[in-house]
Structure 1
Amino acid sequence: MHLKALKELDRSEGTVRIRQSGDGALVLVPQPSPNDPNDPLRWPLWKKHTAFGAVCAFTFLTNYGISGLAPAFGVLAQEFHKSPGEVADLLLWPLLVLGIFNFFWVPIANYFGKRPVFIFASLLLFLTFIWGARAQTFRSLLWSNIISAFAGSSTEALGAAIVNDLYFLHERGTKLSIYMNFIAGGNTIGPLICGFVAENVGWRWHKGVAAIATGITFATVVFLVPETQFTRNLDAGGSALSDSEAEKGVPVTTEVAQKTFWQELSLTVGMSPGTNIFELFVRPFPLIVYPAVLFAFLGYAVSLAWVVAINIMAPFILEAPPYLWGTSLIGLINLAGFLGNVFGSVIGGWCVDRYSDWRARKNNGVFEPEMRLFLLILPALIVPAGCLVFGYGVGRSLHWTALFFGFGMISLGLVAVPIIGMTYVSDCYFPVASDALLLVNGLKNIVAFGFVYGVVPWVTGSGYVNAFGTQAGVFVAIMALAIPLALYGARIRHRTSQWRIIL
């Protein structure tokens, strides 16, 4: 078994020029293939955006159909004669499955291609949502959620990898922010809608709407999403295309034939039959020693755990005195989560991309991945403050607006922190980004599951003020890990790029 160092795959070590030193013109990174129009980086914008939009819709609907059911937990507890802790299993176990099965889907996609994985997974998600809508027992509903999570877990890491397939370095932050907003949006818009649906036409229609939308997404993936996996030489020479030429898909003189519409629908285009599939399953795990991967995973884990904990507890908090909210009103607290997600995506995506470009211009056009980390100061201040506001709000029975603002501030971190962290990982370790992002997405769900599994007993024993105060401190401690990366990142990347840990 031959182990390689990152230096052998990418001599840049993540430090690249994205602006010409003279006129400041944009340099496309990575370089699109000069002689192959089938390179996804050369696709016209409509084709890129359709593929990207289908992936975003799929990941949104996964969380919409599963997590969106949270406002109906009180209704479900009465209908199936279950305790609040037992009903919480509808969200807890799928959360674990969403993490674990990342480690299944990514190697399968690397071997067979991303397209067949998305076709199969979107069809399975469609069928499991129909199953959930017709479930007559709590056990049946629980298993429909678990299998839905198995199908939906295919997008967690692969969706981020598809951003790298379709878009250039200077676009990654913004596109990943859109993708993360769809992931988080399923957890906020889903409960917001479900509260009204469950109260007026029954919780089963929540699953029914999810099934209909997923069926449309499945058809879109089948007919309009080609394979995005493409083998490129990161050190290839050749004249660079201008930004406008690449984005518009301007044809080039080439010896490679453009695939027809029906050829693009093939399920075998992305296959790598010469690859050892066992190595594909094993090779992500050594990458956890890369500092950027470790930080991105921990930051995403705590950002997710705090939000999921509130989603589980909110129905029971708001149904009880002094709030006494109905099912539809409980869903409205997710409006705060949605607004937090939007602000977080702007900070982690558009703002970070603009800030990094500004820093690169001042650095003679040279981009350093650590430029993305400096804006972490915003979630590092806002999220802990939100934890304190929410904890004191519930613990002291304050007005519902305290809970609203606290949840919104916490939700900002759910999007901003993983966008910055995962984009940083892609910039540092682009040749192995798919495997590195697999670790980030898979492990964060496992850690979040462990936290959420114990959060109800913790809050019951310590009280909301102490529990959420501790969460604020943990979040600050993990954000502090970005300081050495921001200050000494180039030196760390140079050292780690020589580690022989890549299969």
Structure 2
Amino acid sequence: MPLKALHEIEHTQGTVQLISHNSNLQQKNGLVLVPQPNQNDPNDPLNWSLSRRILIFYNILFFSAMGNFCITGLAPGFGQIFDEFHCSTSQLSYLISGPGLGEALGCFFIAPLASRYGKRPLWVVSSTLFFICNIWAAASPNYSSLLVGRIFAAWASGTSEPLCVDTINDLFFLHERGTQTGVQGLWLCFGATLAPVAGGFLIAAEGWRWFHWVLAIFTGVNALLIFLFVPETQYRRDLHKSLDVTMAEDSEIFTEVADFNGKSDVTQTEGGLVREQTTTNQSATQSEYVKRTFWQDLKPWSGVRKDVSLFGAFIRPWALFSYVSVIWNVMAFSIHISCFVICITLIAVVIGAPPYGFSSSMQGLTYLSFVLGNVIGAYLCGRCNDLVSQRLARRNHGVFEPEMRLPVVLVPIIGTPIGLVLIGVAFHHQWHWIVPCIGFVLVAVGFTGIPCVSQPYLMDSYFPVAMDCLIQFNGFKNFVTFGVGFGTIPWYERDGPVTMFCILAALVIVIDAGAVLLYIYGKRLRHHDGQLKIFLF
């Protein structure tokens, strides 16, 4: 099986004409729609109504949020579990770290199946399995059963993170990706940070088992809604239109692809671009597309793409480490989530001890500072990401480059190190609790903000392998989270808060500063990356 490059054309991938006066291009609010939807096909997800797309998106967002909620929300019940199962403190920690590993395995060993079998089968199966595993955990007769049930639940929900972001590619246009990625990141963070707050009150009132019973109720309803209202969103549009759908004003525009299964001639245009000419006329094209009915969309399978190698689907995410920009994006998210996990872990150790002496419920309320940071980060690096990139595109004669998303990285570059130093000094000098909480807000801004920049950047830059990028992006950070959870307490006890948090701040500055190099050399790197023959298809 031969290795393939990302593209074999001269045009640098990701560079598109976002603002144009060309009347042949479909536009909305003065912005060119990238990619251009197939006007003839009612089954193209980009042609669906906004309300339908939002319904689909929010159903899978809820599933993703519940995955994180399941992992962190049980922590307030550790005391009850200790009394019931007589397990050790380290065994209790496995109830959090074990599912974290399960989530990583779900990313790498389930999500790639979507490339060959479609997203809908994975959404239906994984949401149903998540529902069943929560019932399993709630009814567990012993510690081992509880641990295994939670690991399998996380394994099922682990598919949701990369697939949810890739679904943004299916349902929304380029100029909407930053905003929608911010919404997705906000839901994931809410699932992680609000879980200990809600879980603490629920477990105190009803016991730890009811945490999983309530999850089972919500996830059962969610699985039903996914089955009813989340159809297959993957759409096989023309590859060249997906990459280079809009060109400079004087470039030749691609003709509409009439039949993906029919015959077409590929010719070379003056600008080195590829145009497909179909042998069928427009009226024939329109008659060939028949809108699927609601009952047809209920099919739990989506067909098999025999042109996609199953083995290659599992290998491609790892081949992406040949791309410098992918390495930077993965490292940036990994360091920010490490800082977040360390802060979460130390809340019980530091805030629960003198001089703060917060009770379990009060410790849970400190998570609200992370929620505030999540909201700020999602707006500044999500919505503002789209606005800034559009403004820069206007200054660049309407031409959009993925690197135009990178300036908003200044928010986490500045905010997160300040927050980390503030936390370390406050813990060391035992300052008022409001000081470390301000630090938590700043850390959460970066934790939410970085993926709001990185994931749209990867989708814009490497559209044909966007799912593989997102699998690596989310799966690798889950492995990092799993490892960081084991080392946090020993590191804190050995070096103390000032040294620990200053080292973290320095790492954030050094790694995030790579965005400057990517902003300068990113286009050149993308052009180089596109020529590397590293992918199995």
The offset of 1:322, in angstroms, is 1.8
- The one of 182, 201, 208 equivalent to 1:196 is 201
Cα gap change, 1:9 to 1:415, in 2 (>3 Å): farther
Cα gap change, 1:232 to 1:19, in 2 (>3 Å): same
Q: Which moved more, 1:56-65 or 1:269-278?
A: 269-278
Deviations 1:153-196 (A, max 9, x none): 01111111111011100011111111111111111111111121
Residue 368 of structure 1 corresponds to: 401
Tell me the percent identity.
37
Partner secondary structure for residue 101 of structure 1 = helix
Question: Is this contact kept in 1: 2:38–2:256, CA < 8 A?
Answer: no
Structure 1 spans left out of the alignment, 5+ residues: 241-251
Return the index of the structure with the highest Cα Rg: 2
Cα gap change, 1:502 to 1:194, in 2 (>3 Å): same
Residue 59 of structure 1 corresponds to: 64
Question: Is this contact kept in 1: 2:319–2:535, CA < 8 A?
Answer: yes
1:327 aligns with 2:360: yes
Which one has the bigger helix percentage? 1
Aligned-partner residue type, residue 117 of structure 1 = L
Deviations 1:273-316 (A, max 9, x none): 45321122112211112122111111111111221222223223
Residue 176 of structure 2 corresponds to: 171
Q: Which moved more, 1:88-97 or 1:477-486?
A: 88-97
Residues in 1 aligned to 2:347 and 2:109: alpha-carbon distance in whole angstroms: 32
The offset of 1:60, in angstroms, is 0.4
Residue 7 of structure 2 corresponds to: 7
Residues in 1 aligned to 2:32 and 2:169: alpha-carbon distance in whole angstroms: 16
Residue 247 of structure 2 corresponds to: none
TM-score between both structures, scaled by the size of structure 1: 0.93
Residues in 1 aligned to 2:110 and 2:343: alpha-carbon distance in whole angstroms: 29
1:391 aligns with 2:396: no
- Counting matched residue pairs gives 492
Give the 5 Å matches for 1:235-246: 235-236=240-241, 237-238=254-255
The offset of 1:74, in angstroms, is 4.3
Deviations 1:72-128 (A, max 9, x none): 334444544444433221111211221232111122122221111111111111111
Residue 233 of structure 1 corresponds to: 238
Give the 5 Å matches for 1:23-34: 25-34=30-39
Residues in 1 aligned to 2:362 and 2:505: alpha-carbon distance in whole angstroms: 27
Residues in 2 aligned to 1:75 and 1:487: alpha-carbon distance in whole angstroms: 54
- The one of 312, 319, 322 equivalent to 1:289 is 322
Residue 19 of structure 2 corresponds to: 19
Question: Is this contact kept in 2: 1:230–1:270, CA < 8 A?
Answer: no
- The one of 154, 157, 160 equivalent to 2:162 is 157
Residue 118 of structure 1 corresponds to: 123
Residues in 2 aligned to 1:471 and 1:197: alpha-carbon distance in whole angstroms: 34
Cα gap change, 1:32 to 1:456, in 2 (>3 Å): same
Residue 392 of structure 2 corresponds to: 359
The offset of 1:493, in angstroms, is 1.4
The offset of 1:467, in angstroms, is 1.0
Residues in 1 aligned to 2:180 and 2:391: alpha-carbon distance in whole angstroms: 18
Residue 381 of structure 1 corresponds to: 414
Q: Which moved more, 1:383-392 or 1:358-367?
A: 383-392
Aligned-partner residue type, residue 18 of structure 2 = I
1:47 aligns with 2:76: no
Residue 243 of structure 1 corresponds to: none
- The one of 98, 101, 105 equivalent to 1:100 is 105
Residues in 1 aligned to 2:478 and 2:221: alpha-carbon distance in whole angstroms: 28
Residue 417 of structure 1 corresponds to: 450
Structure 2 spans left out of the alignment, 5+ residues: 24-28, 242-253, 258-284
Partner secondary structure for residue 518 of structure 2 = helix
Residues in 1 aligned to 2:353 and 2:81: alpha-carbon distance in whole angstroms: 16
Cα gap change, 1:385 to 1:254, in 2 (>3 Å): farther
Aligned-partner residue type, residue 352 of structure 1 = N
Aligned-partner residue type, residue 17 of structure 2 = R
Deviations 1:223-258 (A, max 9, x none): 111001111113242479xxxxxxxxxxx9553100
Residues in 1 aligned to 2:500 and 2:179: alpha-carbon distance in whole angstroms: 34
Deviations 1:333-362 (A, max 9, x none): 110111111111001110010000111111
1:205 aligns with 2:210: yes
Partner secondary structure for residue 499 of structure 1 = coil
The offset of 1:129, in angstroms, is 1.3
Question: Is this contact kept in 1: 2:18–2:398, CA < 8 A?
Answer: yes
Residues in 2 aligned to 1:79 and 1:396: alpha-carbon distance in whole angstroms: 38
Residues in 2 aligned to 1:438 and 1:307: alpha-carbon distance in whole angstroms: 21
Question: Is this contact kept in 1: 2:420–2:502, CA < 8 A?
Answer: yes
